[in-house]
């Protein structure tokens, strides 16, 4: 028992540690997880999954994959498909079907797989997956249109590709149990009906009890997790191998049900999925043997090259004929298609079962999948940004700033950011308040930033910082809390400072960081704006140091932010004070107007004594 606990702890350290290193150094997490699993497994022998977990290995992986597929199903909202544009819809259909067919041809003729295994494998490779494509998009710095297409293709195709592979897997299993094509298709149809019925039934149950308060909020996430396990187990007990289809159907149903707490539940599932993705990936990598590495041959290389240079580009160009994409954008999208955890997890799960029923070539699925994952993640991760620059469709070099709340002060700030080559977007629910921004040629968004529809109109991936600067401190806190999950809590800021010890104060756990050391509210900033305060830029050098700047600046001026020489923005906050500064940084302060000569002279002379009144 202690050995198993130690192995699980090591798997957790390697998986989450790889995720952290990937975040810290802006590297592909899937590559680091793969390397750590391979080193700990076949090379050092620290993790030997079959020996460590025995008969529990396959059920563990199956349950983990089921939860991962359920979380993928939660992302497939049919209303979102209709709102993301024709290019994305064409990438899903007929794009997924074209990629599936071309992938099957490559699997059979290039990799030498039998037709059933090649068709199943091609279904797996349809999935690009948000777990790999979204981090890549953050570092690739693409322009809005190709970034949007790639993002939504990954989100929508994630459950669709998995569904294709599961259906083919069900067919192959049914065919192996005997019977003609008609009987096999009948069994497959029955299995699909059973699985979908169980998934929809569980989804209906959740959608019924959650909105009616029959489950308290603190139990909703554990209850949903238990419901997914129950759905998977029930489907497996009634019809073997249908559990994955059932949980996918359950996730898709809930994604399209009107449940107010679904965003919070989805975040819980995302957190759970990150843990499971990390663990499963490390375990599957550790399950590889040295023989798997030695099995690499010209067929594997031919398959990888065909996938990279034929299957994906041809599929994209055929499916996007007649869309708004130009040839440069099609070329970029046709190159970027990293595969991730869903392909690896399902291939590892299917391979052993297919081998048991007589498909010996299924043993090549795992090495082929890892080859595709490594090739696509490394090739696309390191070439997407240079290719975008070469094609002239790269976005601004610096992550943008999303400003929620339009006022003369925020519009002036947005103009300053644009001067610094930093993309800025001012969002507000009032068309009237957005008037100064429109007149100043500042990018605007008219609508509620917290609405679900906003995701289709505002490319939040292009923004690395959020400033909530409305006159309502509670609303600012709500916006910061909503976007902290996506942008990062350390990158969301708001105006207004309240006493947290006051009974009506807003606690730090539900608000963003407070802009300015003084915590000035919007009313105060507007007063300063009309009094002539302006933003002042100062470049620090070896000669003009931070100390000299502090000594020279106006005593009432407040430092708002520092544009580091690396291109990163650092803001001054009420809690942390001024950010660290060094030579090469650009300091932006909000400073009062310079006094006129008359005012300066008057200030320098002592005040005159008042004249005495006549007696």
Q: Do residue 265 and residue 212 come from a single domain? A: yes
Whether residues 376 and 449 fall in one domain: no
Average pLDDT score over the chain: 83
Q: What is the mean pLDDT of residues 175-200?
A: 78
Q: What is the CATH number of the domain that holds 116?
A: 1.20.1530.20
Of 475 and 31, the structure prediction assigns the larger pLDDT to: 475
Single residue among 391, 408, 435 that ends a domain in this structure: 391
Do 593 and 493 belong to one domain? Answer: yes
CB contact burial 449-459 (16+ within 10 A = b; e otherwise): beeeeeebebb
Cα(182)–Cα(163) distance, integer angstroms: 21
Q: Per the domain annotation, does 515 fall within a domain?
A: yes
Let me know if residue 614 belongs to a domain: no
For residue 306 the two structure tokens come to 């065909």
Would you call 278 helix, strand, or coil by DSSP?
helix
Q: In terms of domains, do 349 and 420 share one?
A: no
Whether 612 is in a domain gets the answer no
Choose among 40, 146, 157: nearest CA to 95.
157
Is residue 84 over pLDDT 70? Answer: no
Between 205 and 370, the more confident residue is 205
Q: Which residues pair with 591 in a beta bridge?
A: 534
Mean pLDDT (whole number) for 33-50? 87
Quote the pLDDT of residue 437: 92
Residue 258: its pLDDT value, please?
Answer: 75
SS3 587: strand
Residues 291 and 142 in one domain: yes
Which has the minimum average pLDDT: 22-26, 242-246, 588-592?
22-26
- Point out the domain boundary residue: 366, 391, 416: 391
Q: Are 107 and 113 in contact (CB under 8 A)?
A: yes
CB 27, CB 19: distance < 8 Å: no
Q: What is the pLDDT of residue 110?
A: 94
Indicate whether 85 and 167 sit together in one domain. Answer: yes
Mean pLDDT of 167-189: 75
> Cβ(456)–Cβ(83) under 8 Å?
yes
| CA-closest candidate to residue 343, choices 365, 312, 319, 310 | 365
Same domain, 168 and 220: yes
pLDDT at 29 over 90: no
pLDDT at 442: 92
3-class SS letters over 326-365: CHHHHHHHHHCCCCCHHHHHHHHHHHHHHHHCCCHHHHHH
Q: In sequence order, what are the residues at sequence separation of 6 or more whose Cβ sits closer than 8 angstroms to the Cβ of residue 274? A: 19
- 385 and 484 assigned to the same domain: no
For residues 403-418, give the mean pLDDT.
94
Indicate whether 533 pLDDT > 90: yes
Same domain (yes/no): 282, 409: no
Q: According to the model, what pLDDT value does residue 322 have?
A: 86
Domain of residue 539, CATH code: 3.40.50.720
- What's the pLDDT score for residue 527? 93
| Segment 456-498, tens digit of pLDDT | 678 777 788 999 999 888 899 999 988 887 788 889 999 877 6
pLDDT score of 429 more than 50: yes
Residue 607: per-residue pLDDT: 47
Based on the fold, state whether residues 404 and 358 are members of the same structural domain: no
Which of left, alpha, beta for 496 (phi over 0: left; psi -120 to 50: alpha)? left
Cα separation, 573 vs 490, whole angstroms: 11
Q: Give the tens place of pLDDT for each residue, 246-261.
A: 888 898 888 888 776 6
Tell me if 434 is assigned to some domain: yes
> Domain boundary residue among 376, 391, 406?
391
Q: How far apart (Å, rounded) are the C-alpha atoms in residues 397 and 140?
A: 10
Residue 608 located in a structural domain:
no
Does residue 460 belong to any structural domain of this protein?
yes
Strand-pair partners of 573: 515, 577
Q: 3-state class of 57 per DSSP? A: helix
**β-pairing, 444-446 with 569-571?**
unpaired
374 and 428 assigned to the same domain = no
In the prediction, which pLDDT does 534 show? 93
- Which DSSP string corresponds to 412-467? HHHHHHHHTTEEEEEEES-TTTTHHHHHTT--EEES-TTSTTHHHHS-GGGEEEEE
Facing residues of 588 across strands? 537, 561
Mean pLDDT of 114-126: 89
Question: Into how many domains does the chain fold?
Answer: 2
Question: H-type helices in 110-180, by residue range?
Answer: 115-125, 130-140, 144-176
Q: What percent of the chain shows pLDDT beyond 70?
A: 88
Evaluate whether residue 129 is within a structural domain: yes
The Cα 320–Cα 340 span in angstroms is 24
Tell me the pLDDT tens digit for each residue of 313-366.
Answer: 999 999 999 888 889 999 999 999 888 777 877 787 788 888 888 888 888 888
* 549 contacts 587 by C-beta, under 8 angstroms: yes
Q: Report CA 381 to chain centroid distance, whole Å.
A: 15
pTM of the model: 0.69
Structure tokens at 261: 């707490």
Residue 78 · residue 48 · CB < 8 Å: no
285 in Cβ contact with 33 (< 8 Å): yes
Q: What is the residue range of 543's domain?
A: 398-600
Q: What does the longest C-alpha to C-alpha distance in the chain come to?
A: 125
Indicate the SS3 state at residue 607: coil
374 with 464, same domain: the answer is no
Q: Flag whether 161 is in a domain.
A: yes
- The C-alpha angle 100, 106, 107, rounded to 5 degrees, equals 85
């Amino acid at each position: 028992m202690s050995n198993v606990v130690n192995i699980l702890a090591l798997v957790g350290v390697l998986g989450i540690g790889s995720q952290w290193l990937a975040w810290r150094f802006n590297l592909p997490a899937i590559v680091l997880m793969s390397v750590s699993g391979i080193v700990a497994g076949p090379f050092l022998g620290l993790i030997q999954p079959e020996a460590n977990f025995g008969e529990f290995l396959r059920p563990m992986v199956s349950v983990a994959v089921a939860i991962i597929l359920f979380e993928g199903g939660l992302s497939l909202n049919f209303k979102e498909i209709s709102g993301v544009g024709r290019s994305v819809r064409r990438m899903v259909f007929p794009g997924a079907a074209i990629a599936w067919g071309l992938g099957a041809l490559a699997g059979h003729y290039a990799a030498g797989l039998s037709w059933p295994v090649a068709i199943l494998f091609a279904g797996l490779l349809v999935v690009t997956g948000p777990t790999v494509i979204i981090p890549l998009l953050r570092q690739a710095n693409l322009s809005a249109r190709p970034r949007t297409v790639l993002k939504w293709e990954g989100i929508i195709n994630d459950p669709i590709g998995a569904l294709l592979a599961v259906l083919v897997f069900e067919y192959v299993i049914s065919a192996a149990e005997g019977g003609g094509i008609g009987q096999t298709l009948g069994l497959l149809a029955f299995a699909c009906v059973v699985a979908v019925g169980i998934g929809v039934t569980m989804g209906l149950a959740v959608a019924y009890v959650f909105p009616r308060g029959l489950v308290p909020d603190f139990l909703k996430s554990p209850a949903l997790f238990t419901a997914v396990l129950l759905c998977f187990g029930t489907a497996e007990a009634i019809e073997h191998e249908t559990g994955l289809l059932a949980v996918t159907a359950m996730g898709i149903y809930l994604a399209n049900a009107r449940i107010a707490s679904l965003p919070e539940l989805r975040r819980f599932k995302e957190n759970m999925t990150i843990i499971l993705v990390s663990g499963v990936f490390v375990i599957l990598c550790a399950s590889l043997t040295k023989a798997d590495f030695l099995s690499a041959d010209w067929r594997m290389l031919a398959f990888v090259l065909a996938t990279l240079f034929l299957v994906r580009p041809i599929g994209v160009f055929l499916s996007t004929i007649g869309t708004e994409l130009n040839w440069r954008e099609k070329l970029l999208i046709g190159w970027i298609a990293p595969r991730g955890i869903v392909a690896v997890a399902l291939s590892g799960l299917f391979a052993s079962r297919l081998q048991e029923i007589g498909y010996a070539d299924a043993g090549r699925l795992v090495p082929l999948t890892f080859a595709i994952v490594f090739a696509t993640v490394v090739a696309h991760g390191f070439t997407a940004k240079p290719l975008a620059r070469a094609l002239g469709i790269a976005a601004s070099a610096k992550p943008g700033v999303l400003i929620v709340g339009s006022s003369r002060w925020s519009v002036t700030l947005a103009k300053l950011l644009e001067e610094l080559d930093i993309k800025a977007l001012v969002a507000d629910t009032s068309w009237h308040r957005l008037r100064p921004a429109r007149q100043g040629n500042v990018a605007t968004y008219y609508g509620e930033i917290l609405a679900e529809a906003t995701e289709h109109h505002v490319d939040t991936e292009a923004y690395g910082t959020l400033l909530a600067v409305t006159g309502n401190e509670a609303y600012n806190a709500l916006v910061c809390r909503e976007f902290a999950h996506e942008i990062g809590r350390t990158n969301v800021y708001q105006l207004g400072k309240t006493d947290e010890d006051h009974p009506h104060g807003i606690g730090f756990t539900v608000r963003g960081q407070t802009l300015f050391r003084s915590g000035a509210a919007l009313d105060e900033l507007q007063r300063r704006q009309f009094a002539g305060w302006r933003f002042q830029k100062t470049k620090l050098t070896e000669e003009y140091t931070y100390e000299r700047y502090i000594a020279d600046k106006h005593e009432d001026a407040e430092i708002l932010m520092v544009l580091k020489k690396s291109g990163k923005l650092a803001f001054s906050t009420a809690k942390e004070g001024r950010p660290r500064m060094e030579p090469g940084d650009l300091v932006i302060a909000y400073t009062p107007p310079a006094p006129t000569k008359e005012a300066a002279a008057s200030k320098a002379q002592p005040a005159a004594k008042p004249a005495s009144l006549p007696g």
